[in-house]
Structure 1
Amino acid sequence: MDSEGRSQRHYQVCLIGSGGVGTIASVVLAKSGRAHLTCVLRSKYSYVSQHGWDVDSVDHGKLSGWKPHRIVRSAADAATDENGDQVTYDYVVVCTKQLPNLNPVVGMIAPVMTPGRTTVVMIQNGMGIEEEIIKAWPGNVVMSSVSHIGSSIQEPNMVVQVGKDVSKMGPHLHTGVDDSTSIEKAREFVDMYLSGGASVCEMVEDIQVARWEKLLWNGTFNTVCALMRMDVGELQRSKGRESMLVPMMWEIWNISKAAGHPMPESIVQWMAYRLPDDCDYRPSMLLDLENGRPMELEVILGNALKKAQELGVNTPHMTTVHKLLKLEEWRCQERRSL
């Protein structure tokens, strides 16, 4: 029984995408003692299946050779157990980058989905990312975790978490599932995640507001740092915060309000000025661009701009940054094709 007298259920959980965020999520779920956890590792399967993860975490301390219950190479392998019997998953947790044109989530998770049973938990960036999942499995619960965490991978198997695991989680309510069922499934996952030692995990009724709040960072600092090849401190000291970031944040704020998910006005000031001017943090989109990797451009800016156009919201700064990053994306694609 938990502290509120509820019986603790145990769940079959499949986690796909063990990068910095996904591996810490897998540690949390395993520590809860309530998840029989299967992790899908693609590029790192061979090494981690032998040596495990070495973790240096602000939340969980140092772990050497840590492994979840089971490691597999693909979702198809996760679909059956060691004896070849079908596994019915209660939760599928998706922690991959959101690249719908290169690696659509629907195809990725299909082997481990049971219609009407499996809840999808999306620990991913972007807006509108739940729509294709709901379309593919209209009778399943879909929920999001909007994560704020500082965690990265150092080769070959080191996970370094320097920022606490702080997240807001909640269901995407839709007509295929009763709202009460969606809320209950989301609450069960939040309870499990909290029991695994997450720093902060808050259940929210309107997960879209949390996604728009995250976009205030991802749609501004993440994108402009990438475009200008600057870290956060450089961008702020250059006055780019005042000339670009704050105007972009107000455009995002206006889209959110028009979409029926208003944020408090004070959040713009807080998001723009919360980090010191000597902050040397290099956002993920900048690192992707520097390393020639695909960026999450469309789910971060593209989908928000589509919503703005649909609602008649003016977005001159966001539109310009999106167009310039599309040129950078083209250049990266050209280099990868050589």
Structure 2
Amino acid sequence: MASFPLSASTPRRYAIVGTGAIGGYYGAKLQRAGVEVHFLTRSDYEVIRQEGLTVESPEGNFRLGEVRAYRDVADMPPCDVVIVALKTTQNQVLGELLPSLLNSDGVVLVLQNGLGVEDEVAQWVGGDRVLGGLCFICSNKLGPGQIRHLDYGAIALGEYRPNYKPQGVTQRMRAIAHDFERAEIPMQFHEDLLLARWKKLVWNIPFNGLSVVLDAKTDRLITDSNSRQAVESLMAEVVAGARACGREIPGVFVEEMLTTTEKMPPYLTSMKLDFEAKRPLEIEAILGTPLRRGTAAGASLPQMALLYQQLTVLDRYNRA
């Protein structure tokens, strides 16, 4: 493993690739805490350079008047941690961006939904330089440089290796967590990143997918008896897919996801927001890859297959 700055007292330089609801929020929190952060902004460049980043949050609103923002990755300095917060539908650009952004001992932290996203990144930077992060957060991008944080905010970290062999909790996970905790971002550790990914899909597959198909926020999906039955059926299939792939999700975790959603403020999922804005949906990462891997491993996943087909059709006609 490459030498990575592990000491809590050693400053680490961060890059944000994807300054939206996730990257903008976490990057702004890190910078406010004194961490050096560089933002690749592309279409929002002019606004962010002139007006900075604004975060609305129940934990307190704040604005960063000066932000290290860049339109071109060639102008950015090499960084110790490159946070990928793009939609997975844009991952085709990462091969051009990541190699020049990374220090020789740097790592990529993938803050994306879905399964297999670390596999994509590893093909460009190597399997020993990738970490996965699962974001448990409700946040939206209101406009260029404007983020609205609604609730939650924790990140769960895990080390990646090819074939998702469990790596335990490493020192570089702890070093990165130290920076985030300085920014008052709750951090968790996962010894098994593949299990963590499947557990996140227990929520993401039913609520992201059904929010589009049924044109609903989370509160209606969880309170209406028919839609809740659909949610629970899909959750059971995610558990079955994970089991077929060698990962066991306890029933108590599924109940916790249902209870958490009941307490959540009415929320438009990221996939529903993308659908309304006629942007490509993250169908493959969130649903297609888990469906294919679970089916290949012997699981019967008819509800997931139907939802995948429905979303594919809706996405195609919506963007046409």
Q: Please, what TM-score do these two structures have when normalized by structure 1?
A: 0.85
The reply on whether 1:245 has 2:223 as its aligned counterpart is no
1:71, 1:94 → 2: CA distance? Answer: 15
1:283, 1:186 → 2: CA distance? Answer: 28
1:249, 1:283 → 2: CA distance? Answer: 17
The answer as to whether partners of 2:38 and 2:69 remain within 8 angstroms in 1 is yes
1:278, 1:15 → 2: CA distance? Answer: 28
- In structure 2, relative to structure 1, the CA distance for the partners of 1:225 and 1:49 (3 Å cut) is same
Q: Which residue of 2 aligns with 1:159?
A: 147
- Which of 129, 139, 151 does residue 117 from structure 2 map onto? 129
Q: Which residue of 1 aligns with 2:98?
A: 109
Alpha-carbon displacement from aligned partner over 1:226-247 (angstroms, at most 9, x marks no partner): 1111222222343234431111
2:216, 2:208 → 1: CA distance? Answer: 10
Q: Which residue of 2 aligns with 1:25?
A: 26
Structure having the higher helix fraction is 2
Q: SS where residue 314 of structure 1 aligns? A: coil
Displacement after TM superposition at 1:179 (Å): 5.4
Displacement after TM superposition at 1:138 (Å): 2.3
- Which of 261, 281, 295 does residue 275 from structure 1 map onto? 261
Q: SS where residue 90 of structure 1 aligns? A: strand
Spell out structure 1 runs of 4+ moving beyond 4 A. Answer: 177-180
Q: Which residue of 1 aligns with 2:172?
A: 185
Displacement after TM superposition at 1:32 (Å): 3.8
List alignment gaps of at least 5 residues for structure 1: 1-5, 79-86
Q: SS where residue 170 of structure 1 aligns? A: strand
Q: SS where residue 312 of structure 1 aligns? A: coil
Q: Which residue of 2 aligns with 1:218?
A: 204
- Which of 150, 171, 188 does residue 202 from structure 1 map onto? 188
What fraction of aligned residue pairs are identical, expressed as a percent? 23
1:311, 1:139 → 2: CA distance? Answer: 23
Alpha-carbon displacement from aligned partner over 1:122-175 (angstroms, at most 9, x marks no partner): 111110111122222226421111001122222353322121311211211349
Q: SS where residue 263 of structure 1 aligns? A: coil
Quick one: which amino acid aligns to residue 81 of structure 2?
Y
Question: Alignment RMSD, CA only?
Answer: 2.5
Quick one: which amino acid aligns to residue 269 of structure 1?
E
The answer as to whether partners of 1:93 and 1:123 remain within 8 angstroms in 2 is yes
- In structure 2, relative to structure 1, the CA distance for the partners of 1:332 and 1:179 (3 Å cut) is same
Q: SS where residue 143 of structure 1 aligns? A: strand
Alpha-carbon displacement from aligned partner over 1:179-232 (angstroms, at most 9, x marks no partner): 58x82222211111111211x211221122222121111100110111111222
- In structure 2, relative to structure 1, the CA distance for the partners of 1:197 and 1:315 (3 Å cut) is same
1:97, 1:46 → 2: CA distance? Answer: 21
Alpha-carbon displacement from aligned partner over 1:26-54 (angstroms, at most 9, x marks no partner): 12322343x32111101111011011122
Displacement after TM superposition at 1:7 (Å): 4.8
List alignment gaps of at least 5 residues for structure 2: 1-6
Matched pairs, number: 314
1:157, 1:90 → 2: CA distance? Answer: 24
Q: Which residue of 2 aligns with 1:71?
A: 69
2:78, 2:303 → 1: CA distance? Answer: 46
